[in-house]
Amino acid sequence: MNKKYALFPGCLMPTEQYAYELSIRETLPLLGVELVNVEGFSCCGEPMKSVNQLLTLYLSARNLAIAEKHHLDIFVPCAMCHLALTECQHVLEKNPAMKERINGMLAAEDLTYTEKRHIVHTVDLLYDEIGVQKIKEHVKKPLQGVKIAAHYGCHLLRPSEIGRPDDPENPQKIETILKALGAEPVNYPQKLDCCGAPLLANLPESALTKTGQKLQAIQEQGIQGLVDVCPWCHKMFDSRQAKAGETVAAKLEVPVIYLTQLLGVALGISSEKLGLELNLSPVEKLQLEAVK
């Protein structure tokens, strides 16, 4: 039986990180996931959290209420959006007065937040909902010889008390998925280091320093590439790699690829359909033999 989810694209994926959406829409239906396009979704609110927490809660609750109106659980590929929606549910379930206040605001659009929706990210959708065994069964082109490092990102793992897709201290789900695809995940000391994206607006040099330091460490350790699962992290490691290299005075040439793009290659989907040509880092160095 197919799993059905409302796809919550967030802001960055449909406006800049097109490859993530392309690879998601190509791969997940092959694994029995039906993605439903729902009208009315907006920003999750997380970027405004430090300025206006009520606005963040309202925007997240509004998106959850829209999914609830369609009787759908929600697939959130962006780790930042996933955190915002999950934290909103946590707050509203613990704070009835705030829930009532938010619903008062939602009433203007005839929306109501009443019950928790199941919220999944790419990592727990693949690992927990679809399952590693099913992924293995669909692999057509095993990624033999691909030694790659996993980047989880901060928003995906913390704060653990509200429920995150993997263990905050020793996450292993991406590595397990990579093994199912035939690749060889490489452990490295900087695995839990931040990509720098949260600092980009106010402290761009500090942000790019974080980005560059992590990529430089991966490159110096001889790891072939980096796999990520968040459009914000990808923006830093892939799109801003050249600038990050300048910031840390290093020539960086690290292939950076979305997990869903690697998944698509292993499933036999063409590189064009997976948006590999949209990656700005040298992904060709991975020598992925996608079907033409």
Q: Are residues 215 and 256 in the same domain?
A: yes
User: Can you read off the two tokens belonging to residue 218?
Assistant: 């991966």
Evaluate whether residue 98 is within a structural domain.
yes
Q: Are residues 89 and 164 in the same domain?
A: no
Specify the CATH number for the domain of residue 59.
1.20.1050.140
Paired strand residues for 119? 74
Evaluate whether residue 8 is within a structural domain.
yes
Q: Are residues 57 and 110 in the same domain?
A: yes
* Residue 1, pLDDT score: 58
Residues of the chain predicted below pLDDT 70: 1, 289-292
* Residue 118, pLDDT score: 96
Evaluate whether residue 132 is within a structural domain.
no
How far is the C-alpha of 165 from the C-alpha of 159, rounded, in Å?
A: 11
Specify the CATH number for the domain of residue 278.
3.40.50.11810
How far is the C-alpha of 232 from the C-alpha of 228, rounded, in Å?
A: 10
* Residue 119, pLDDT score: 98
Q: Are residues 98 and 156 in the same domain?
A: no
The whole-model pTM stands at 0.96
Element (DSSP H or E) covering residue 184: strand 184-185
Q: Are residues 178 and 245 in the same domain?
A: yes
Q: Are residues 114 and 164 in the same domain?
A: no
Q: Are residues 108 and 148 in the same domain?
A: no
Tell me how far CA of residue 12 lies from CA of 42, 274, 275, in angstroms: 11, 17, 15
Total number of domains in the chain: 2
Q: Are residues 149 and 242 in the same domain?
A: yes
* Residue 115, pLDDT score: 84
Contact assessment for residue 260 and residue 27, using Cβ atoms and an 8 Å cutoff: yes
Q: Are residues 75 and 189 in the same domain?
A: no
Name the residue among 27, 17, 15, 13 with its Cα closest to residue 81: 13
Name the average pLDDT for the chain. 96
Contact assessment for residue 212 and residue 186, using Cβ atoms and an 8 Å cutoff: no
Helices 259-266 and 173-180: crossing angle in degrees, nearest 10, is 20
Instruction: Let me know how long the chain is.
Output: 292
Contact assessment for residue 104 and residue 58, using Cβ atoms and an 8 Å cutoff: no
How far is the C-alpha of 75 from the C-alpha of 242, rounded, in Å?
A: 32
Evaluate whether residue 7 is within a structural domain.
yes
12 lies in which domain range?
A: 3-120
Q: Are residues 90 and 222 in the same domain?
A: no
Lookup result for tokens 């009787």:
71
* Residue 2, pLDDT score: 81
Q: Are residues 107 and 145 in the same domain?
A: no
Contact assessment for residue 191 and residue 149, using Cβ atoms and an 8 Å cutoff: yes
How far is the C-alpha of 69 from the C-alpha of 166, rounded, in Å?
A: 29
